[in-house]
Structure 1
Amino acid sequence: MFVKEEGKESPVIINQEKTAVLETEGGIRILLRTEAADKITASLEIRQEEEAAVFLHAFKQPEEPFFGPQTHLDPAKGVSYRMTLEGTGRLMAVYQHKNWWIRPAFPACFGDIPKRTQLLLAEKKTGAGSGREYLAVLAVCGEEYRTDIAGDGQELRITAASNCINKSATDDLSLVLAAGSDPYLCCERAVKKALALTGKQKMFRKERTYPEMFDYFGWCSWDAFYHEVSQDGIMKKMDELADKQIPVRWVLIDDGWLDADYKKQVLKGLDAAADKFPGGLGACVSKLKKEYGIRQVGVWHAVMGYWNGLEPGSPAREALQEGSRILEDGRIVPDAEAGKAFRFYDTWHDYLRNICDIDFVKVDGQSAVSLFYAGRKEYGRASGEIQKGLNASAALHFDNQIINCMGMASEDMWNRPSSAVSRSSDDFVPDVPHGFREHAIQNGYNSLLQGQFFWGDWDMFWSDHEENWQNSILRAVSGGPVYTSDKVGRTDGKFIMPLLKKDGRVIRCEEVGMPTLDSLFENPVDTTHVLKLFNRYQDSYVIAAFNINKEDRACEGSVSLADLPGLDGGARILYSYRERKAVRLEAGKDYSFRLEANDGELFLLLPDKEFTVLGVLEKYIGAGCVETVREGKEKTTVILSEGGTFGFLSGRKPAAIMYDGVKAETEGKETEGSGSSLYQARDPFGESDKEGRMVEIIW
């Protein structure tokens, strides 16, 4: 919240070289001013309500004689203005570090804030007034211009650029600021306000619909085969998964299946490469569905068709001609006009859906749009038009079952009308030593921004890998799709099945995984601070903790109620997955643990009640296997979706536990700091394919 000065009404207009001052209720001061530039007249319009919105109005003055040569706003440098923050302490920035990806930074000072920062989160300086306060500064991609934040000495340079030549003026929303005691809510409020001001309210994640197919486990061909994917290879993998009873429900055929010139990186045809898929794509899909029970099959394609567009004179060019455009350099790509872009994708997707029986698509390289259209069309318009066409086609043919990928540039993030899932990190890289470190911080911290728009696809992983445990529990808190890409013969179900029910349904958290409060401003790679990511499942919280420091040192960590927003009062029960240990946590208390180098642990924070069902303890989130609980004075009945060690917390000691009518061997262990105990009842039937199990707790 911001303090309103008496006598000053919103909006406030700040003209050339003047300064506007905003102040939060907690005492953070924000100073905004335009700066002198050659023949550029600029002003800032500040609309202050619960959040503060900054609009930039600027134009390049024409040169006399007016009929002579003119200069325009630089497509890359655009128009800049300045911001100074006073009364802030620690900083965290989410910035675009590659053309397609964003990642976090932990600046020690304002000058360290990276170029192309999209979200800056600042904490109020310790001792500056009472109580915690945070400030979120959000850069917006408007109708034409995108804004970027960068450190410049003790100030911030805010730049709005169009990516288009011959532009003489800008009139766009540039920044939104939100302040308050909850940093997650600050990020959420800033995005919601910006979407409301740009007429895109329905692009907020909570307004979108998560595709039901991604509630089930999948497999992707990429890391298994890379460009050598073939029907024969896929079927060998399906045989292995069936033999190991891994309940894969969808398959994604990634890059390498296409009829393309892989040297020139251009698309030649709409179907599969004949040498890899002799019967065509449709024959492969039919075999997957009929012989292996795969419910959905999807394919990968680039936003441009293939990485470098279409091959001139090819069947693909002929089929997609109405929706494509020839650029000045000869490349053939989707036209950046929504109707034509729709015709491009609609023609191809119609073929994939109706001829090949494809159910979903992964569309890669999306942030290349602004590279292909650099100088030709504005950031907001080029990406906005192509995203409209792509999303309309994906909605029409695949019911919005689309994974957006390599599309974390702000012009893409702000312009997808309907699709709900987007990759939130660079690729999973199985052959890069300690690749998990970067993978974990990107997915966790990027979600503070992208998680406001989409559910994150935290990418595939290998279940047979030196970092399989960390990657597995990372997916437990992601809230998004879960799928692997192991090579033939290499799938290890021990790191897959704890994430799933036996029917392949993912036990999925309900929000998007994000860093805990004590992790927000700490660099877990360059320090020995344990990275903790959290999410919510029903009335519990799931916390994944990781030691990813680059010096490979053991780390001490802790969990407390203060780590999560809104839990600083009352009490909760902390459950440690690997130790199968329960501890009662109250305000001001914490649970300490130790992690060896490159290790992790999973915790549940459960309600502190007389009786709490944990469910099947072999699962990371055992409550996902609980179908029904009927409590009575003499007996409590729990219906499970499947068998396994049944766990519950109770202040009463049970007289016996019956598992499908058979007395179960039971172990009780006192919950530290509580009068209750953790009880574990072993499944007397062991491994069983039986669906639906009944546990009776006799009091």
Structure 2
Amino acid sequence: MVAFSLMHKYKLSLMELLMLNRSLETHLGTFCHRDKKEMPDLMNWFGWCTWDAFYTDVTAEGVKQGLESLERGGASPKFVIIDDGWQSVCMDTTSVEAKFDDTANFSNRLIHVKENHKFQKDGGESSEVDDQSIGFRQIVTEIKEQFSLKYVYVWHAIVGYWGGVMPGVAEMEQYEPTIVNPIPSPGVESNGICFVLRSIMKNRVGLVNPEKVYAFYNDLHSYLASVGVDGVKVDNQSILETLGAGNGGRVKLARKYHEALETSISKNFPSNEIISCMSHSTDALYSAKQAAVIRASDDFFPRDPASHTIHIASVAYNTIFIGEFMQPDWDMFHSLHPMAEYHGAARAIGGCSIYVSDKPGHHDFIVLKKLVLPDGSTLRAKLPGRPTRDCLFSDPTRDGKSLLKIWNMNDFTGVLGVFNCQGAAWCRVNTKNLVHNEQPGAVSCTIQAKDVHYLTNIAEHGWTGDTIVYLHRGGNVLHLPKNKSLPVQLQAREYEVFTVVPVKRLSKGAAFAPIGLLKMFNSGGAITELNYGSPETGIINIRVRGCGVFGAYSSVRPERILIDMKEEKFDYEERSGLISLNLRVSEKELYQWNLTVEL
């Protein structure tokens, strides 16, 4: 993990490392922290990515099929990422094909900034890329209109394609690409060179002249913007650290490329519509003034059973450091998968975009409806999801005794996810993820309100420290007094999500705590306003976004509850204090219900 490597090397505490970053921002002037950046609106909506559905075999028709399939099931994406497979690429005469399983061909190079024949109207090899009337413009327009999409993103590598840009091609000559040899750092070599980097090293990279790279990005992005594309996912960014020889070194090259990239993004996608990917090198992080979203881990690998628990742990720990620079993206996942709920719960806590890469017709809408509201919006937590303090120096993937706890905040509640990640880890000998324990046993821990580190920031004045805890899977509502602990035990690859809410003491000894939409992973994300008014009145006003079963804790049965000024029926459990009532689906997007609870 980046943060812990730096802490070990320079003997820094975690707080010292994060404070050093703040000082470096002022001193270097080359990057900004996350809280100073504009977050793209895409973050607040459900999306679909074409990658694991089609890999590079994606076509215009496949994009439509995927969107239609999700819409039919009631989980309509509001954005789509057309991943690798849309660009005009080919190999040069000296390249050796480098394709493995469902990967791209890493020896290909970019030969045109416009889309390939698969995204022309007839999909034929003879289609002309210059005819916009039958290309991306028509396809993007059609899917936006037919599926009410808000955003269409497309993928490209930071050097154009995996193998860079093709020299000697008329459309690319103006960018002056040259073939260069990637040279990995000793640290990368010692950890193991992956198939992707090994393939790129073998076939080398067509690197655009750094003095021409802004023109390249601007031509690419201005074309995409002109046909209705709203943003880009820019991949393989860390390849720049291997290409510094002859270009002033890796730092200078990265600065040049990232400055050009962000300038082009500002001009062509002015709402900062970019997702950075494979960009954990410090060269990239300390060159990011505007980019606000960063993939925080390796890919989601649907067919690799060793990868899933590692994925969750890796993102959580990586977020400690990279979450200072950008909002971590937890990547896509499959909703129809043995680990779908596990992945979905983690993303609900992660504060990230929520998007899947399901094949058309392969969906679990029960899982999706715990993440996505009928209008396509999500209940995104406010911060990057990070490990709790007591997890910082444990190893929840291989020590056999630790659970991973991840916390985040909503406007009026905290959220805490607990995951059993034991059983698989990175193997330095084989340089890949491996299952080291086929049947890891149950693991236990305790949770406390203080695990949600900023909970005091949202508590009402005079808070006693007592909380209400709602268990998503268990369905329990529990009262947790100040400084008390709740025991948790999880079997292998199990999870639980806890909504943690400060208790408000009202008149005549009554106590109240809103929970949120009980069927959603991040229940409390639905609460947008909370007003207790005068404690003597016992009247609580709550604004709630979404639909389904809304829940709250009350130590006494309410006299009545109004929704938008109309009295509604509700259920009350004397034993637990749980109030529950149903909120219908609104016809208005992002509609907020006005609830009045009279105790």
**What TM-score comes out, normalization by structure 2 length?**
0.80
Of the two structures, which has the highest relative contact order with CA contacts closer than 8 Å and spacing of 6 or more?
2
Q: 1:509 aligns with which of 369, 377, 381?
A: 381
CA drift at 1:470: 0.7
Describe the SS at the equivalent of 1:606.
strand
Which of 114, 117, 132 matches 1:274?
117
Deviation of 1:576 after TM superposition, in Å, equals 1.3
Distance 1:433 1:423, change over 3 A: same
Instruction: Identify the residue that residue 192 of structure 2 maps to in structure 1.
Output: none
Q: Is it true that 1:237 corresponds to 2:66 in the alignment?
A: yes
Partner of 1:394: 265
Q: Which moved more, 1:611-620 or 1:250-259?
A: 611-620
In 1, Cα distance between equivalents of 2:29 and 2:172: 35
Distance in 1 between the 2:240 and 2:480 partners? 50
What is the alpha-carbon distance in structure 2 between the residues aligned to residue 398 and residue 212 of structure 1?
A: 12
- Paired with 2:486 and 2:547, the residues of 1 have a C-alpha distance of 30
- Distance between the aligned counterparts of 1:445 and 1:403, measured in 2? 20
Measured after TM superposition, the shift of residue 468 of structure 1 is 0.5
CA distance in 2, matches of 1:358, 1:688: 29
Distance 1:682 1:416 in 2: 45
Q: Secondary structure at the match of 2:573?
A: strand
The Cα shift of 1:229 comes to 0.2
Residue in structure 1 matching 2:80, options 242, 251, 265: 251
The alignment's C-alpha RMSD in Å is 2.6
Deviates more, 1:566-575 or 1:358-367: 566-575
Taking the aligned partners of 1:460 and 1:346, their CA distance within structure 2 comes to 28
- Change in Cα spacing, 1:560 to 1:192, as seen in structure 2 (3 Å) is same
1:679 lines up with 2:579 in the alignment:
yes
Structure-2 residue corresponding to 1:204: 33
Counterpart among 8, 25, 31 of residue 195 in structure 1: 25
Are the aligned partners of 1:475 and 1:482 in contact in 2 as well (CA < 8 Å)?
Answer: yes
Q: Structure 2 CA distance, aligned partners of 1:341 and 1:276?
A: 26
1:650 paired to 2:554? yes
- Given candidates 160, 171, 181, the residue that maps to 1:305 is 160
The aligned residue for residue 489 of structure 2 is 594
Counterparts of 1:293 and 1:562, CA distance in 2:
42
Are 1:560 and 2:448 an aligned pair? yes
Matched position secondary structure for 1:499:
coil
Partner of 1:57 in structure 2?
none
Matches within 5 A, 1:574-593: 574-593=469-488
Q: Distance in 2 between matches of 1:637 and 1:464?
A: 38
Pick one of 547, 567, 581 that aligns with 2:420.
547
| Residue deviations 1:489-546 (CA, integer Å, cap 9, x gap) | 0122222222233322221111111111111111111123111111111242211111
5+ unaligned residues in a row in structure 1: which ranges?
Answer: 1-93, 96-103, 106-116, 121-148, 150-174, 672-676
* Post-superposition CA distance 1:30-76 (Å, at most 9, x none): xxxxxxxxxxxxxxxxxxxxxxxxxxxxxxxxxxxxxxxxxxxxxxx
SS for the counterpart of 2:498 is strand
Q: Distance in 1 between matches of 2:295 and 2:562?
A: 45
**195 and 638 in structure 1: CA distance in 2 versus 1, 3 angstrom threshold:** closer
Given that residues 270 and 348 in structure 1 are in contact (C-alpha distance below 8 angstroms), is that contact kept between their aligned partners in structure 2?
yes
CA contact (8 A) 2:409 2:452 kept: no
| Kept in 1: contact 2:51–2:357 (CA 8 A) | yes
Q: Secondary structure at 1:342's aligned position in 2? A: helix
The alignment partner of 1:383 has SS state of helix
Q: Distance in 2 between matches of 1:662 and 1:588?
A: 38
Q: Is 2:189 aligned against 1:346?
A: no
Out of 520, 535, 538, the position equivalent to 1:619 is 520
The one-character-per-residue Cα deviations of 1:373-427 (angstroms, maximum 9, x if unpaired) are 3464312111111111111111111122101111111111111121111111000
Query: Which residue is equivalent to 1:141?
Result: none
Conserved 8 A contact 1:646-1:682? yes
C-alpha separation in 1, matches of 2:527 and 2:454 = 26
* Between 555-564 and 512-521, the greater mean CA deviation after superposition: 555-564
Question: After superposition, what is the alpha-carbon deviation per residue over 1:65-115, rounded to whole angstroms, capped at 9, x for unaligned?
Answer: xxxxxxxxxxxxxxxxxxxxxxxxxxxxx24xxxxxxxx87xxxxxxxxxx
Shift of 1:225: 0.3
- The code of the aligned residue for 1:283 comes to Q
Aligned CA distance change for structure 1 residues 652 and 311 (closer, same or farther; 3 Å): same
Amino acid at match of 1:268: I
Alignment-derived partner of residue 48 in structure 2: 219
Give the aligned residue type for 1:606. V
Pair 1:601–1:607, CA change in 2 (3 A) = same
Alpha-carbon separation, structure 2, partners of 1:567 and 1:482: 24
1:138 aligns with none
Give the Cα–Cα distance (whole angstroms) in 1 for the partners of residues 49 and 118 of structure 2: 20
In our comparison, the structure showing a higher alpha carbon Rg is 1
Hey, what does 2:139 align to over in structure 1? 284
Confirm whether residue 370 of structure 1 aligns to residue 241 of structure 2: yes
Corresponding pairs, count: 516
Q: Which has the higher strand share?
A: 1
Q: 1:119 and 1:377, CA in 2 relative to 1: closer, same or farther beyond 3 A?
A: farther
Tell me the equivalent position of 1:68: none
CA distance in 1 between counterparts of 2:450 and 2:216 reads: 51
Higher helix share: 2
Percent identical among aligned pairs is: 27
Q: TM-score, normalised by structure 1?
A: 0.69
Secondary structure at 2:548's aligned position in 1? coil
